[in-house]
Chain A
Amino acid sequence: MGGLWGKRERLAMLLLLLLALVAPFLVYPVFLMKGLCFALFASAFNLLLGYSGLLSFGHAMFFGFAAYVTAHMGKVWGVNPEWAILGGVVTAAALGLLTGWLAIRRTGIYFAMVTLAFAQMMYFVAIQAPFTHGEDGIQGVPRGRLFGFIDLGESLTLYYFVLLVFVASLWFLNRVVQSPFGQVLKAIRDNEQRAISLGYAVNRFKLLAFVLSAAFSGLAGSMKCQVFQLASLADVHWHSSGEVVLMTLLGGIGSLMGPAVGAFLVVSIENYFAEAGAWVTIIQGGIFVFCVLLFRAGIIGTLSQWLKGLYSGVGKA
């Protein structure tokens, strides 16, 4: 509750940040970057699901199309990465404005299905449009030089760039949640009629949240394109939309770090179990089932409940 973080949370954050700074020397950086991109994606998604109560089943369109635009700008137009990324984000935000404007008129499962429908149409566009190159995608995108002089070809440089973007975005998303705007958003999620009767034009709040979420999903997509140097159909497929839902749920809806943790978990499964071959999806499914049954409020949610229990137990004693 509230915007104030306890000492413990701050300390934990600081430790995490330190860990993130030295991580590329311990773990393969590209894996870390992939994790960060998806963590950002899930966090952006969580802004909508966790704090506005809107389950979008079409976020892949923002993620994927931002990646396409970044790839196209970087590869075909040869612009610097910062512009290519900005291009991706703006595309996602514009797409968010357009689809959100229509979708927020619906709630619950209907909202989910309208967003899914739009995403499927965008998927169709991605298959048919020449610039996306069908199922080959746009490959071999140059990583380029940031601002013209920072060479992102270096994995380590790129890592710190991605980390910076991630931390800044997460900070910002958290700020949105814990802002006057975020407070109203939570109220609307709880009881829309009541919020209207208090004089809030709820659709504008939802739309703004939707666009912000889309823009940051786009940012995540653009960063992913930057890291892997490709943009592909897989990013626009409904599986991606579903995956981000799963990541968020896995980590815990409506918590700051939950979606990021969920994202890292899913990416790690894909990464570390890739060599288990065909068993990957079975293991992944098993982990999902296991997590739901064990961590019933998402990993972070449940952990923090346990911790709370511990502290309050100590406090009472």
Chain B
Amino acid sequence: MIFGVPLQALLGQLLLGLINGAFYAMLSLGLALIFGLLNIINFTHGALYMAGAFAAWLVLTYLGIGYWGALLLAPLAVGLFGMLLERFLLSRLYKLDHLYGLLLTFGLALVIEGGFRQLYGVSGMPYPVPKELQGGWNLGVMYLPIYRGWVVVVSASVCLGTWLLVEKTKLGSYLRAATENRALVQAFGINVPMMVTLTFGFGVALAALAGVLAAPIYSVNPLMGSNLIIVVFAVVVIGGMGSMGGAIITSFALGLVEGLTKLLYPEAASTIIFLVMAVLLLVKPAGLFGKER
């Protein structure tokens, strides 16, 4: 017994927390990447996560392409869309205060969500768990649906891959440097606009991938991403801006903390992250893994 809770139940809850952390990780990674790049909170992130889930549903319903195809197609399509957004809209704002990017992405999020809502209503669409991943394992502490296990595996590997890409190649340096002084980085011979577009597309594709993963678990619904952004961004900040590893680790850790809260004081489950953030930022000014400038 810990906190008056049987150990069994506690373990089960922690496991669930970890699974939620996997979602946070996919979303926060993309968001962190984009924030690191453009210094704006990409408010379309939640909407594009939703768009990813919808893309999966659409290709299933209209083209008969199932989950596995969607896993590839949806991020590709949404990533491409993101690249268009960046090229034709966001890129016009780089000379202005970063805040205007916030206004733009917020407006876009409203339009995208509104559009899907007009077309498909708000109750959501059912999306089946792929046959290969149906069923579950009895772990003793709990019954774990295979699909949730799969989500953790995908998320962990995507996170690792992204982390390696950004931290272990020069891409990371270019991105960080370009945030500070675009003009100079470009004067070193790096095609910054192209790099920004591609990175933006990649970050958005990660959101869409998370959307596809979420589709069988949650209902595919135009509002599914609307409140997500603020929590996920909090995760990014707690991890430390500019630290991909930080975002990943924090995602999983906060998933656990949240899971524990759901058990002990469920009403506060959606507030706990902010409590953690306030306390942490007052103690560690640049988040867990961020560097102070």
Compute how far the CA of A112 lies from the CA of B281 in the bound complex, rounded to whole angstroms.
11
CB distance from B115 to the nearest CB of A (A): 7
| Cβ–Cβ contact B104 & A292, under 8 A | yes
Which residues of chain B from 67 to 101 have any CB-CB distance to chain A below 8 Å in the complex? 89, 92-93, 96-97, 99-100
In the complex, chain B residues whose CB is within 8 Å of the CB of A309: none
A123's nearest neighbour on chain B, judged by CB, is B271
A residues near B275, Cβ cutoff 8 Å: 117, 121
- Give the distance in Å from the alpha carbon of A279 to the alpha carbon of B93 in the complex: 26
Known pairs A282-B110, A284-B107, A289-B107; A124 contacts B234 (CB<8 A): no
Contact check, A285 vs B278: say whether CB atoms are below 8 A apart. Answer: no
Q: Does B282 contact A (CB under 8 A)?
A: yes
Beyond contacts A120-B271, A278-B117, A289-B111: 15 other A-B pairs, Cβ-Cβ < 8 A, are: A106-B282, A110-B281, A110-B287, A113-B233, A114-B282, A242-B106, A249-B102, A253-B97, A281-B110, A282-B110, A282-B111, A282-B118, A288-B110, A289-B108, A296-B92
Q: Are A293 and B92 in contact (CB under 8 A)?
A: yes
Q: Do the beta carbons of B237 and A113 come within 8 Å of each other?
A: yes
CA distance A282 to B111 in the complex (A): 5
The interface residues of chain B, by DSSP majority, are classed as helix
Given contacts A282-B115, A288-B107, A288-B110, contact A113 B281 (CB under 8 A): yes
- A285 to B110, Cβ gap below 8 A? yes
Cβ–Cβ contact B234 & A117, under 8 A: yes
Could you say which of A105, A116, A127, A278 contacts B282, with CB atoms under 8 Å apart?
A: A105
A residues 97-136 in Cβ contact with B at 8 Å: 102, 105-106, 109-110, 113-114, 116-118, 120-121, 123-124, 127-128
Q: Can you list 13 A-B contacts with CB-CB less than 8 angstroms, sorted by A residue number?
A: A106-B282, A106-B285, A114-B282, A117-B278, A121-B274, A124-B267, A128-B267, A278-B114, A279-B118, A289-B108, A292-B93, A293-B89, A296-B92
Q: Using Cβ atoms and an 8 Å threshold, which residues of chain A touch B99?
A: 55, 245, 249, 253
Q: Which residues of A contact B108 (CB under 8 A)?
A: 285, 289
User: Which residues of the partner chain B approach A246 to less than 8 Å between Cβ atoms?
Assistant: 103, 106
A292-B278 contact in complex given A109-B237, A109-B241, A128-B267, C-beta closer than 8 Å: no
Contact B114 A285 (CB under 8 A): yes
For the complex, is B133 an interface residue (Cβ under 8 Å from A)?
A: no
The answer to whether B118 and A278 have CB atoms under 8 Å apart is yes
B103 pairs with A249, CB closer than 8 A: yes
Q: Which are the 4 A-B pairs with shortest beta-carbon distances? A: A285-B110, A288-B107, A282-B114, A117-B278
Whether B107 lies near A292 (C-beta < 8 A) is yes
Q: A127's closest neighbor in chain B, by CB? A: B267
Given contact pairs A117-B234, A128-B267, A278-B118, A286 touches B107 in the complex (Cβ within 8 A): yes
Give the most central of B104, B107, B268, B275: most A CB within 10 Å.
Answer: B107
| Residue B113 is within 8 A (CB to CB) of chain A in the complex | yes
Identify A124's interface contact among B107, B111, B268, CB under 8 A.
B268
Q: Is A238 interfacial (CB-CB < 8 Å)?
A: yes
- Give B residues with C-beta under 8 Å from A: 35, 41, 89, 92-93, 96-97, 99-100, 102-104, 106-115, 117-118, 230, 233-234, 237, 241, 267-268, 271, 274-275, 277-278, 281-282, 285-287
Min CB–CB distance B273 → chain A (angstroms): 8
The interface on chain A, measured as residues whose beta carbon lies within 8 A of the other chain's beta carbons, has a size of 39
* Chain B residues within 8 Å of A110, by CB: 237, 281, 285-287
Q: Which residues of B contact A146 (CB under 8 A)?
A: none
What 0/1 readout, one digit per residue, does chain A (270-295) give for beta carbons within 8 Å of chain B? 00000000110110111111011100
On chain A, the residues within 8 Å of B112 by CB distance are 285
How many Å lie between the Cα of A285 and that of B106 in the bound state? 7
| Chain A residue at minimum C-beta to C-beta distance from B47 | A285
Q: In the complex, what residues of A have CB within 8 A of residue B233's CB?
A: 113
Interface centre among A114, A250, A285, A297 (most CB of B within 10 A): A285
Contacts known (A286-B111, A289-B89, A296-B93); A124 close to B271, Cβ less than 8 A: yes
CB nearest to B282 among chain A residues: A102
Contacts of A287 in B (CB 8 A): 107
Closest B residue to A128 using CB positions: B267
Please, how many angstroms separate the alpha-carbon atoms of A296 and B112 in the complex?
22
Instruction: Provide the bound-state CA to CA distance between A116 and B274, in Å.
Output: 8
* Chain A residues with CB under 8 A of B277: 113-114, 116-117
Chain B residues lying within 8 Å of A279, measured Cβ to Cβ, are 114, 118
Residues from 226 to 264 in A contacting B, C-beta threshold 8 Å: 238, 242, 245-246, 249-250, 253
Q: Chain B residues near A253: list those with CB within 8 A.
A: 97, 99
Closest Cβ neighbor of A262 among chain B residues? B103
Query: How far apart are the CA atoms of A102 and B282 in the complex, in Å?
Result: 7
